[in-house]
Amino acid sequence: MPNMAAKPKRLKLTEQVRQAITDSGESRYRICKETGLDPATLHRFTTGERGLSMEALDAVADYLGLSIVVNRKPIQRNKSKSAKS
């Protein structure tokens, strides 16, 4: 029986930013003009050829009004090693 409560796949941060750029309706030219990014850099990012530096990512996020929310589950450690007496 299939798992009906399966979670949707989470998009990577870069994929979410690419989607936000597309959804914004802003031209790449306008985003570059407002953020100071080189047009070739933004083009390579939006086509998936390259990533963005943290500074560039911050500039795009600020311009588009995006925020990053860190929501992390605790890491479960393997407790197979027994404690020494």
Domain borders along the chain are: 13-64
Give per-residue pLDDT as tens, 51-85: 999 999 999 999 999 998 878 777 888 766 555 54
In this prediction, residue 3 carries a pLDDT of 59
pLDDT of residue 40: 98
Smallest CA-to-CA distance from 21 within 3, 2, 1, 39 is with 39
CB 60 within 8 A of CB 37: yes
Q: What is the reported pLDDT for 7?
A: 62
pLDDT tens sequence across 20-51:
999 999 999 999 999 999 999 999 999 999 99
Q: What is the pLDDT of residue 1?
A: 53
Torsions phi, psi for 49 (to 5 deg): -70, -35
Stretch (H or E) spanning 31: helix 28-35
Of the candidate CATH numbers 1.10.260, 1.20.144, 1.10.10, 1.10.3470, the domain formed by 13-64 belongs to 1.10.260
